[in-house]
Structure 1
Amino acid sequence: MAYERIVNKEKREATIRMYGVIGRDIDGNQMAHDLAELDRDADTIHILINSEGGSVAQGLSIVSTILSSKSYIHAHINGIAASMAAVVAVSADKVSMQDYAKLMIHDPFFAGIGKEKLSGKDIKALNSITDSLRTILARRGCDKDRIASLMKDETWFSASEAQEAGLVDEVTTTPRKEELSNLSVPELMNRIMNEYQSSNKKTNMKEIAKKLGLPENATEQQILDAIGEKDRTVNEQKQSVVDTLLAFGKKNGKVTDKNEERMKRLALADFDLFAEMISDVAEEDQEEGHDDEDNLTRKPSFKVENRRLTDVINQAQKGKKAPHDGSGSRNWDWYQKNDPEALLRMEVEEPQKFNRLRNEYESSIM
């Protein structure tokens, strides 16, 4: 997923996560369309950013929508905001930057083509784009000539330096500054991306655990064991129905000592064909008026058994409901189960609490 949209209709807020390269991982034109769509119903839109930049054209589509939006746009730099991603961030009404994050600005260029090889038309277009980017980056009060100098030198900023330069409004204090601020740009970019993907994986595992009737904090091994047990239960129940139909076939003469092993193999390889063969005999017997006192040769008996197999498999797939946690403790599990949107808001508004709850949860399952 290039990015995701989360909408809180009650608070009229929305969040878009912009992680990856614009034009490769992120379809900038689609994101601009989605922002415009959200702008109709949301009063505030949060954009979470971890991007090394990318396509200027697609980035400008996002910027144009942000600048024309009636909603209050709040950008949050959660890792890297470089090149075009920095311009997207600065175009917001408010920019918050994690204390370990990094921001970079530079002049735009045509990939793989030196400026000396550009036509006069291309140079004119590039100069126009460069001026537009300088204007956007200077919107918080930094002198435009100063911005031009910083862009020409391809300047990297820490969070505090970006705030001092007038590119961001506030620095969000986190307990991870010492851990993350000394990472290289690729390392920090990948760390934040992997944590996001890992969080998604854990959410998916919670859903699987819930469907299996396990606690949401079940380990992967517990989930695998539960799936294995459920498969064994379904197989045992199916085998029970096969045995019943084999007995049925022996009663009406379709299954004999000579062909019993072949019929068992047929039941394993193609149960529907196996059941159809037994059913055909039952239908013929019923038409001829045969009827044992235990009713094994009556066609309705087969229908009951056939439905029973379907019911057994469906019932096994439904699973049990996850037990209710009555503790009332609002930990990571509680939010995932009862109010996942609150976790997304917490990541934006209370990153320290978000990280503490996540770390507590990870410690509990290690």
Structure 2
Amino acid sequence: MTAYERIINKEKREATIRMYGIIGRDVDGNQMAHDLAELDNEADTIHILINSDGGSVSQGLSIVAAILSAKAYIHAHVGGIAASMAAVIAVSADKVSMQDYAKLMIHDPFYQGKGKEKLSKKDVKALDSVTDTLRTILSRRGCDKDRVASLMKEETWFSAQEAQTAGLVDEVVTTSRKEELSNLSVPELMSRIMNEYQSSKKTEMKEIAKVLGLPENATEQQILDAIRAKETATDEREQSLVAGLLALGKKNGTVTEKNEERMKRLASADFELFAEMVTDTPDAGEEVREENENGGLTTRTSGQAESSRLSEVLNKVRKDKNGKGSPKESHNWDWYQKHDHEALLRMEREDPARFKALLDEYESSIV
């Protein structure tokens, strides 16, 4: 599993980071803080999906600093465990939501393998300073700081409802899995959520491999290489089509030396409009006989014949790009955001129903 994922929706100016695992081992907190700062320039809202039992305080505080300094609205979603430093990260967000089966824990920080009595005066002072900082963060939703201190000292675990009552989270999200998951132990719940995520990713990768004509056990790199090769082939086909349409435009007068460069830029920015402007013109040219579907001959002008052939190619390119006529759709919004964002933009224009279905599925997965 990667340390975390970055998913960006440029149209809605939203981003999502998945923070699963131990901070400092599975999650590079310093890198995540850097990425949050970068995303702050691209998104108005950043969602952080959390299933973590904590980890490095120093790396966690880097993430907290990035959250507190962000201009974007930060929404933390606890989908499993938010313990120790992960709880502090969650509470530092502008809004915190917990699934009704999730668990949250807060406690005093400590040096691994050392009791406070064995620390130097300098280390004790540093630890007290960090402890006060964590208490301040955890009391930002209205929970009294002295109360927070007492709860941290006792290493307190909360159910979602208890965390909301204590003033640590803003809302509890009702699910159909509360009875199934709420009685699991902390390690069991964290593992269950982690395994479900990893399993869904493996299934998705298998389906992607199948669509690409690869074996189910294809590696992620092999899948990425196949996708890039497919994109390259499609781009080359589109470039050939643009060249053909430009040639047709020169024949029928819609493309001239004066506007050719503008037409090329139009083809890059809005291919559909470019194709329409080039082909939707009065017919001209010599007569050409073509075989029709019934085996007979049809007489057309050369402009009609070439336009017809180019239209057929255009339709094929559209199908290749939006997936129509191909095996059942297996790519979700996450996949497109990471691997082919341009395809989402094309899908929004050419297949808005499919675009909306993927977007609705994605938005449902983060609440």
TM-score (norm 1): 0.63
Contact 1:23 1:58 in 2 (8 A): yes
User: Which residue of 2 is the match for residue 343 of structure 1?
Assistant: 361
Distance, in Å, in 2 between the alignment partners of 1:36 and 1:45 is 11
Answer yes or no: is 1:41 the counterpart of 2:59: no
Residue identity in the other structure for 1:159: A
User: Which residue of 2 is the match for residue 101 of structure 1?
Assistant: 102
Distance, in Å, in 2 between the alignment partners of 1:86 and 1:153 is 15
Contact 2:106 2:151 in 1 (8 A): yes
Answer yes or no: is 1:124 the counterpart of 2:142: no
User: Which residue of 1 is the match for residue 161 of structure 2?
Assistant: 160
- In the TM superposition, residue 326 of structure 1 has moved relative to its aligned partner by 11
Distance, in Å, in 1 between the alignment partners of 2:157 and 2:116 is 23
User: Which residue of 1 is the match for residue 175 of structure 2?
Assistant: 174
Instruction: Show CA shifts across 1:128-177 (max 9, x none).
Output: 00000000000000000000000000000000000000000000000000
Contact 1:96 1:170 in 2 (8 A): yes
- In the TM superposition, residue 333 of structure 1 has moved relative to its aligned partner by 7.3
- In the TM superposition, residue 212 of structure 1 has moved relative to its aligned partner by 1.8
Distance, in Å, in 2 between the alignment partners of 1:136 and 1:185 is 24
Contact 1:81 1:89 in 2 (8 A): yes
Residue identity in the other structure for 1:135: T
Residue identity in the other structure for 1:86: A
Distance, in Å, in 2 between the alignment partners of 1:200 and 1:341 is 18
**1:237-252 correspondence to structure 2 within 5 Å:** none
- In the TM superposition, residue 206 of structure 1 has moved relative to its aligned partner by 1.4
Aligned-pair RMSD on alpha carbons? 2.5
Distance, in Å, in 2 between the alignment partners of 1:46 and 1:75 is 6
Instruction: Show CA shifts across 1:203-251 (max 9, x none).
Output: 111111111299xxxxx69xxxxxxxxxxxxxxxxxxxxxxxxxxxxxx
Distance, in Å, in 2 between the alignment partners of 1:324 and 1:199 is 25
Distance, in Å, in 2 between the alignment partners of 1:122 and 1:212 is 58
Instruction: Determine helix, strand or coil for the equivalent of 1:95.
Output: strand
Q: Evaluate the alpha carbon distance shift between residue 83 and residue 334 of structure 1 in structure 2; reply closer, same or farther with a 3 A threshold.
A: closer
User: Which residue of 1 is the match for residue 92 of structure 2?
Assistant: 91
Residue identity in the other structure for 1:345: E
User: Which residue of 2 is the match for residue 21 of structure 1?
Assistant: 22
Contact 2:67 2:92 in 1 (8 A): yes
Answer yes or no: is 1:147 the counterpart of 2:148: yes
- In the TM superposition, residue 323 of structure 1 has moved relative to its aligned partner by 6.5
User: Which residue of 2 is the match for residue 205 of structure 1?
Assistant: 206
Distance, in Å, in 2 between the alignment partners of 1:37 and 1:334 is 24
User: Which residue of 2 is the match for residue 278 of structure 1?
Assistant: none
Contact 1:6 1:341 in 2 (8 A): no
Instruction: Determine helix, strand or coil for the equivalent of 1:104.
Output: strand
Q: Evaluate the alpha carbon distance shift between residue 132 and residue 52 of structure 1 in structure 2; reply closer, same or farther with a 3 A threshold.
A: same
Contact 1:8 1:341 in 2 (8 A): no
Distance, in Å, in 2 between the alignment partners of 1:195 and 1:334 is 16
Residue identity in the other structure for 1:347: S
- In the TM superposition, residue 334 of structure 1 has moved relative to its aligned partner by 7.6
Residue identity in the other structure for 2:363: R
**1:232-311 correspondence to structure 2 within 5 Å:** none
User: Which residue of 1 is the match for residue 245 of structure 2?
Assistant: none
Structure 2 spans left out of the alignment, 5+ residues? 218-319, 337-353
Contact 2:8 2:16 in 1 (8 A): yes
TM-score (norm 2): 0.62
Structure 1 spans left out of the alignment, 5+ residues? 215-219, 222-320, 350-366
Q: How many residues align?
A: 243
**1:221-232 correspondence to structure 2 within 5 Å:** none
State which structure, 1 or 2, has the greater radius of gyration over its C-alpha atoms.
1
Residue identity in the other structure for 2:93: A
Q: Evaluate the alpha carbon distance shift between residue 163 and residue 208 of structure 1 in structure 2; reply closer, same or farther with a 3 A threshold.
A: same
- In the TM superposition, residue 118 of structure 1 has moved relative to its aligned partner by 0.3
Residue identity in the other structure for 2:119: L
Contact 2:207 2:330 in 1 (8 A): no
User: Which residue of 1 is the match for residue 243 of structure 2?
Assistant: none
Residue identity in the other structure for 2:51: N
- In the TM superposition, residue 111 of structure 1 has moved relative to its aligned partner by 0.2
- In the TM superposition, residue 348 of structure 1 has moved relative to its aligned partner by 1.1
